[in-house]
Structures are given as C-alpha cells and as structure tokens.
Amino acid sequence: MSEIASKIKSIPWQRLMFILLMALMVAGTESCGKTGKLSKKERKAQIEAAKKQLQPIISGTSTLSYDEQKRIVGEVMDKNLNDPILNDMIIQAQQKLKTLLANQTQAKAQKVDIARAALFDLLLNKDNKSADELEKALNAIKKQNLDDSEIDELIARVENKIREMRAGGSSNIPIKTQLENAFTSIANAAKTGDLSQADNTIQKTLQFFSSDDAPVLIIISREGSTVDYDKPTTIKRYLNFLKDTKASRNDIDAIMTDANGKIKGLDLIKK
C-alpha cells in the first residue's frame, strides 16, 4: 500500500494539469469552428467587407451585371451578420436592384419597339434599298441580340426577302410601285369583267395596311406648303372605287406607316 502511495506522489501533477488545460482549449477552438461562431474581430472584418461590396450597388456605380450584383447581395444576406447599418444597406441595395431591373426591362422594350419598326420598314422597302443595303441594316439589328421571338420572326422574313431579291423575285419591287401596280390591276380586271380577280387583288392589297379603314387623302392642288385635299376616304373604299370606276387616276404621293410597319395612311395625287 505504501508503495502505491509513493508512486502516486511521484507523478508530476503540474505537468499533467497543463496538458489537460491545453487539450480543453484545443477542443473549445474546434467546437467554435464547427458551429460557425466568429470572433468579434472576424465579425467586424466581415461587416466592413460586406459594406464595401454593397456601397457601389447602392450608389449605382457598380460595373457588374445585374445578375452579379444580385448574387453579391444574396451572399451578404446569407452571412446573417445582423448589423443594423449593414441590414439597412442590404435593403437599399435590394431597392436599387429592383430599379435597375425595371430600367433594363424598359430599355429592352424600347429597343424591341425600335427594331420592330425598322424591320417592317425593311420589309416594305419604301426607300428602294438594294439587297446589300437591306442586309447591312438587318445585321445592325441582329447584333443587338434582343432575344425576342417576334423580332426573330421578322428577321427571318427580311432574310427571306433579301434572298428573293437576289434571286430576282417580286420582293425587289418598292412598296410604292407594288401599290400602284395593284391599283392598275384592280381597274384593268374590272374593265375586262374579271371581278373575281379584282376582288382577289383588293384583299391582297389590304394586307399592307393596318386596317381596312386606313385613311386615304387625294391631293387636288398644292402651292408651296398649302395643300387642298378631296373628300377623305378609306383604303377599302378607295380600292372598291377603282373597281367600280374601272380606272386608276392617282399616283401615291406619301406613305405613312405605324410602329409595326403597316401602312396607316396614304396621300394620293392626280396623275
């Protein structure tokens, strides 16, 4: 018994306690790392870093894309740093992103509207552009990459028109000439008694217009900026008038189109 007591007394207790204390400290550090707790210094550093990330977004000076800015705001939120100033900055950044998205959506809608009108102009080819000129204008629109189904469909139609022009098709004829040819065709078909052909040409011609009621004005006289018109009519009535009178006595003076490239009005002048 005295021998056991002697061995116990010989153990270096101070050294043993030091080792035990170090083991407890290491275990505590590992436990803190596993639970994700931050020291005050680390938390403060992350808060300041997050503020620096959010500030350009709030001020609108960030050069990053909308998606990248949105990702940054999301990552800051996920850290749950729970700092009052930072929380307020997160709200400001979210509002800024909402405004940015709305502006981008509006800007794209405007670009789509402009591109749509331009593509309809190319289809009508009122300026009698060559196939190469049409292709150059079309490529400028395609470079915008608008990612819009209607624009893509119109682009395909213009590409088909260009192919037909290069193959010598009828699409090479300016819209002014096409309309005037249609007017003459209606009158001539009625004159020969082929009313079915006249009606068929009327229906095809109406497809160029925004509606059957698109106004048609006939210029009686013009001196400088003073213009006198005959009684206004509509395109459908005018085409039927050509069939009834069996004569086409007017040329086209001006063509007005709407945002979709359809003809919304005609000015005619006596030949």
Give the per-residue pLDDT at 34. 43
- Exposed e or buried b per residue across 90-107, where buried means at least 16 C-beta atoms within 10 angstroms of its C-beta: beebbebbeebeeeeeee
Q: Are strands 215-223 and 233-234 parallel, antiparallel or unpaired?
A: antiparallel
Q: Is the pLDDT of residue 22 over 70?
A: no
What letter represents residue 84's amino acid?
P
Calculate mean pLDDT across residues 118-144: 88
Specify whether 130 is located in the same domain as 223.
no
Decide if pLDDT at 167 tops 50: yes
How high is the pLDDT of residue 15?
57
- Looking at the structure, do residues 46 and 166 belong to the same domain, yes or no? yes
- From CA 97, how far away is CA 103, in angstroms rounded? 10
User: Model confidence over 95-108: pLDDT tens digits?
Assistant: 999 999 998 889 99
Asked whether residue 211 carries a pLDDT value surpassing 70, the answer given is yes
Q: Which run of H or of E encompasses 234?
A: strand 233-234
CA distance 173 to 168: 10
Neighbours of 263 (CB within 10 A): 24
**Predicted pLDDT of residue 141:** 95
One domain, residues 98 and 23: no
Q: Which of these ranges, 2-6, 63-67, 233-237, has the smallest mean pLDDT?
A: 2-6
Residues 54 and 165 in one domain: yes
Task: Give the structural domain span for 263.
Answer: 174-270
The residue ranking higher by pLDDT, 3 or 214, is 214
CB atoms within 10 A of CB 50: 21
Q: What distance separates the 2 farthest-apart alpha carbons in the chain? A: 142
Q: Based on the fold, state whether residues 44 and 1 are members of the same structural domain.
A: no
Q: Are 47 and 158 part of one and the same domain?
A: yes
The three-point CA angle 206-208-212 to 5° equals 40
* 115 and 216 co-located in one domain: no
- Residue 37 half-sphere exposure, CB side, CA atoms within 13 Å? 8
Same domain assignment for residues 14 and 108: no
User: What CATH number should be reported for the domain holding residue 227?
Assistant: 3.10.450
Asked which of 137, 155, 170 is the last residue of a domain, the reply is 170
- Count how many Cα atoms sit within 13 Å of the Cα of residue 169 in the half-sphere of its side chain: 10
Predicted confidence band of residue 36 (pLDDT cuts 50, 70, 90):
low
- Higher-pLDDT residue of 20 and 250 is 250
56-80 pLDDT, tens digit per residue, is 999 999 999 999 999 999 999 999 9
189 and 202 housed in the same domain: yes
Task: State residue 179's pLDDT score.
Answer: 92
